[in-house]
């Protein structure tokens, strides 16, 4: 029985499914049913008599290809056996194996995994007589990544360093020689790495016309998913196999091309109609994910793009609140209001259906501290969790020793960065310090003069016990050169994280409170598999392909989104705009954009005014509802609305009448304390307690009569009976 796809698909999708001959470009807007369209077209091709063996489906993950083929098989009575589907690299590997005897791979070849490639790069390094280089020399992993970017972008190594790793420019000549040596060893031993597969396959198709024609004859129908993510060589491979008038369908969205740093070229999809004269262009604009107010704002973001395919996203879901634009007094109060909004949203949605998105991983650090302090579970996609970053642990280790001189892990982290001091020496020195063995300490200091300065720093901090920010400033004066020396590959990025740490430190009066909150961490799995009771924190790049009921976006100001580097080149600014579009279209029902009016400047030790993101300034005011934080901590609607308390304002913003009945969920006060936990349990009057094993901790909630949930620094969240606790007076 023929597939009645007209009942399952909208008119644009039907047109794409029925376009079987000649080149076709499908511009699939966010949430427009791209995968469904591909699946139905696969089934329709076979239903029309096309042999499955003549269909080639190229995707960016094997899982995507398998899912599409499986779904298409379900639509057909006789299945879909015979279709070739997979990634560009797996297809290239299979063809090189099949035709090795016709090319310069007669003696065979081996495809290296990453570990093998690193070993070969190490051999290239040794062949140059570099041997054991200084600690500040880039790691092999970083060098291999730079070489890969140079190849995929098809540009020289110098350009890659200038754009992405300028701090490594002094090593340009050495890195260039290592890249040449790496290539020479591969050729000498018949080795191919991941990137080589595509370029060698291209040479095969270019130099052997018989192979090229054979593949064109076999694969008469080629479909490419996520075409906006292809790099230059992948686009050329498609053209070589399809020919100018081949039956090739490219599916993608130019507005979601956000992987230029990996080598993806948005020009591939933009130039498709020129590369394939007479190509049919079909636009999928009906969205099945978001409400119309959210799509109106996403359309506003795209409206100002310089190079794009015009499209206008629309949906049958016309109802819903306008996106909320919140202008906060500072980046610190931004986190407080975001916490309040999350608490309010949880009255409507499960915690895992709410996501907080940001441009760079460090921008969520302040929020992570607040979430951990309050015992709110979260998962982070992209970037490193604040508490897991090595440079953050390093800096905090010095402060931990000021509070607790017997903190062995902190001593080990501090000693690790003293040249020549190994684990055995560190252990002996620690025991000597704690036991008062002055002779051993003096002997060790004589062997390692750097220890004298280190002990001087720590003794000075212990004697004065300065405020956290002052202490951190002194630590950074010592640790800054160590950061550059020991993390040469990416120390500029790590410096941004330390600046955010200083921003957090400025809010604390003493070291004990500061360190206590930073060590209140939930030991949760941080995989990308969504937990059903955890808030999602994600970089926007890691959020692509995902969706949530409610989305909050942080730091929509110049130098943070778009980044300072992106403001320098038009093509980079265009990609940042597409990134903004991707972020907005992750939201199904609710979207909030945060624009702090001041941002803490590490070098000046104060907050400075900032400008909203140009993407915000370009938006029509009618596309969002603007709220401003006032000096009393409440919010007021822009345009002269009466000031309201934060709770009342957020009630209105998410579309619920103020004072309505609420289900139990956490609420956060301006200072960040919890009034109810994530299970809706009533809180006791907050205070502190002491446990015989875990030490002093902060009470979060009364889990049941005589039972408390407590944050213990270094141990995380524990639920303990009152009879095992010594409660402190909370008054």
Average pLDDT on 387-396 reads: 83
- pLDDT band at 219; cut points 50, 70, 90: very high
Note whether residue 661 is domain-resident.
no
Average pLDDT on 320-340 reads: 90
Note whether residue 676 is domain-resident.
no
pLDDT at 693: 66
Residue numbering of the annotated binding site: 28-35
The answer, yes or no, to whether residue 131 has pLDDT greater than 80, is no
Q: Does residue 551 share a domain with residue 633?
A: yes
Note whether residue 43 is domain-resident.
yes
482, 512, 542 - which closes a domain:
512
Concatenated DSSP letters for 26-79? EEE-TTS-HHHHHHHHHHHHHHTT--GGGEEEEESSHHHHHHHHHHHHHHSTT-
Q: Does residue 632 share a domain with residue 580?
A: yes
Note whether residue 86 is domain-resident.
yes
pTM, full prediction: 0.76
Q: Does residue 499 share a domain with residue 416?
A: yes
Higher local confidence (pLDDT), 705 or 132: 705
The answer, yes or no, to whether residue 387 has pLDDT greater than 80, is no
Note whether residue 293 is domain-resident.
no
Query: What domain range includes position 469?
Result: 387-512
> Tell me: the pLDDT tens digits for 422-471?
888 888 888 888 888 888 888 888 888 888 888 888 888 888 888 888 88
Q: Does residue 483 share a domain with residue 411?
A: yes
Note whether residue 219 is domain-resident.
yes
Tally of domains in the chain: 5
- pLDDT band at 657; cut points 50, 70, 90: very low
Q: Does residue 169 share a domain with residue 60?
A: no
pLDDT at 317: 92
Bond into 613 cis (ω within 30)? no
Which of these, 29, 30, 4, lies nearest to 17 by C-alpha position? 4
> What's the CATH number where 394 sits?
1.10.486.10
Q: Does residue 224 share a domain with residue 92?
A: yes
Residue numbering of the annotated binding site for ATP: 28-35
pLDDT at 512: 78
Other beta carbons within 10 angstroms of residue 462's beta carbon come to 12
Q: Does residue 391 share a domain with residue 358?
A: no
The answer, yes or no, to whether residue 682 has pLDDT greater than 50, is no
The CA distance from 181 to 168, in Å, is 19
- pLDDT band at 94; cut points 50, 70, 90: confident
Query: Which of 26-35, 68-77, 183-192, 659-668 has the highest mean predicted lDDT (pLDDT)?
Result: 26-35
Task: Provide CB contacts within 8 A for 487, sequence distance 6+.
Answer: 390, 391, 494
The least confident of 214-223, 306-315, 320-329, 685-694 is 685-694
Note whether residue 33 is domain-resident.
yes
Q: Does residue 647 share a domain with residue 566?
A: yes
The conformation of residue 722, written as its DSSP 8-state character, comes to G
- Per DSSP, the three-state class of 258 is coil
Average pLDDT on 264-273 reads: 93
The least confident of 175-179, 214-218, 535-539, 637-641 is 637-641
> Tell me: the pLDDT tens digits for 56-88?
999 988 888 888 888 888 888 777 788 888 889
Q: Does residue 347 share a domain with residue 394?
A: no
The answer, yes or no, to whether residue 664 has pLDDT greater than 70, is no
pLDDT at 591: 96
């Amino acid at each position: 029985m023929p597939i009645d796809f007209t009942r399952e698909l909208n008119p644009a999708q039907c047109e794409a499914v029925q376009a079987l001959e000649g080149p076709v470009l499908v511009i699939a807007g966010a949430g427009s049913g791209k995968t469904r369209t591909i699946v139905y077209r696969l089934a329709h091709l076979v239903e029309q008599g096309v042999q499955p063996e003549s269909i080639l489906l190229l995707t960016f993950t094997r899982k995507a290809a398998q899912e599409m083929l499986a779904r298409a098989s379900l639509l057909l009575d006789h299945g879909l056996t015979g279709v070739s589907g997979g990634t560009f690299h797996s297809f290239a590997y299979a063809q090189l194996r099949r035709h090795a005897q016709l090319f310069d791979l007669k003696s065979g070849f081996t495809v290296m995994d990453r570990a093998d490639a690193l070993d070969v790069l190490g051999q290239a390094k040794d062949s140059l007589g570099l041997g054991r280089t200084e600690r500040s020399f880039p790691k092999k992993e970083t060098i291999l990544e730079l070489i890969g970017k140079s190849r995929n972008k098809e540009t020289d190594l110098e350009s890659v360093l200038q754009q992405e790793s300028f701090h490594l420019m002094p090593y340009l000549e050495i890195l260039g020689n290592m890249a040449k040596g790496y290539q020479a060893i591969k050729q000498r031993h018949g080795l191919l790495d991941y990137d080589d597969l595509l370029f060698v396959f291209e040479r095969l198709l270019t130099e052997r016309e018989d192979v090229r024609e054979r593949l064109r004859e076999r694969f008469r129908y080629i479909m490419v998913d996520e075409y906006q993510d292809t790099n230059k060589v992948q686009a050329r491979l498609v053209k070589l196999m399809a020919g100018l008038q081949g039956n090739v369908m490219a599916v993608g969205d130019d507005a979601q091309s956000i992987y230029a740093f990996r080598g993806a070229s948005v020009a591939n999809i933009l130039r498709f109609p020129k590369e394939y004269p007479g190509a049919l262009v079909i636009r999928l604009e009906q969205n099945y994910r978001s409400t119309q107010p959210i799509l109106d704002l996403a359309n506003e973001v795209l409206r100002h793009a310089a190079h794009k395919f015009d499209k206008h996203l629309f949906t049958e879901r016309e109802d819903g609140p306008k996106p909320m634009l919140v202008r906060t007094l500072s980046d610190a109060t931004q986190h407080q209001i975001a916490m309040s909004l999350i608490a309010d949203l949880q009255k409507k949605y499960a915690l895992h259906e709410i996501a907080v998105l940001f441009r760079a991983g460090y921008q969520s650090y302040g929020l992570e501290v607040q979430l951990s302090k309050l015992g709110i579970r979260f998962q982070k996609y992209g970037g490193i969790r604040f508490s897991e970053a090595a440079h953050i642990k390093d800096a905090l280790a010095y402060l931990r020793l000021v509070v607790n001189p017997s903190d062995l892990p902190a001593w080990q982290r501090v000693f690790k960065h003293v040249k020549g001091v190994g684990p055995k020496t560190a252990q002996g020195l620690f025991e000597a310090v704690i036991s008062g063995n002055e002779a051993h300490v003096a002997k060790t200091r004589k062997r390692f003069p750097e220890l004298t300065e280190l002990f001087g720093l720590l003794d000075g901090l212990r004697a004065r016990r300065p405020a956290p920010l002052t202490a951190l400033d002194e630590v950074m004066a010592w640790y800054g050169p160590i950061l550059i020396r020991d993390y040469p590959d990416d120390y500029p990025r790590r410096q941004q994280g330390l600046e955010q740490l200083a921003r957090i430190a400025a809010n604390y009066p003493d070291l004990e409170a500061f360190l206590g909150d930073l060590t209140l961490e939930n030991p949760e799995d941080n995989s990308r598999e969504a937990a059903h009771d955890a808030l999602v924190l994600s970089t926007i790049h890691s959020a692509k392909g995902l969706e949530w009921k409610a989305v909050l976006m942080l730091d929509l100001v110049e130098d943070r989104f778009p980044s300072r580097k992106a403001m320098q080149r038009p093509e980079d600014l265009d990609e940042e705009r597409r990134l903004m579009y991707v972020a907005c279209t992750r939201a199904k029902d609710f979207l909030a954009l945060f624009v702090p009016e001041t941002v803490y400047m590490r070098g000046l030790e104060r907050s400075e005014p900032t400008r909203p993101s140009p993407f915000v300034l370009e938006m029509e005011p009618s596309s969002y509802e603007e709220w401003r934080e006032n000096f009393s901590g409440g919010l007021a609607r822009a345009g002269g609305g009466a000031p309201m308390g934060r709770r009342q304002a957020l009630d209105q913003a998410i579309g619920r009448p103020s004072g309505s009945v609420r289900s139990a969920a956490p609420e956060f006060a301006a200072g960040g304390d919890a009034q109810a936990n994530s299970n809706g349990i009533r809180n006791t009057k907050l205070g502190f307690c002491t446990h015989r094993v875990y030490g002093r901790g902060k009470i979060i909630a009364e889990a049941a009569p005589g039972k408390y949930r407590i944050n213990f620094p270094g141990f995380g969240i524990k639920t303990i009976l009152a009879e095992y606790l010594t409660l402190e007076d909370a008054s």
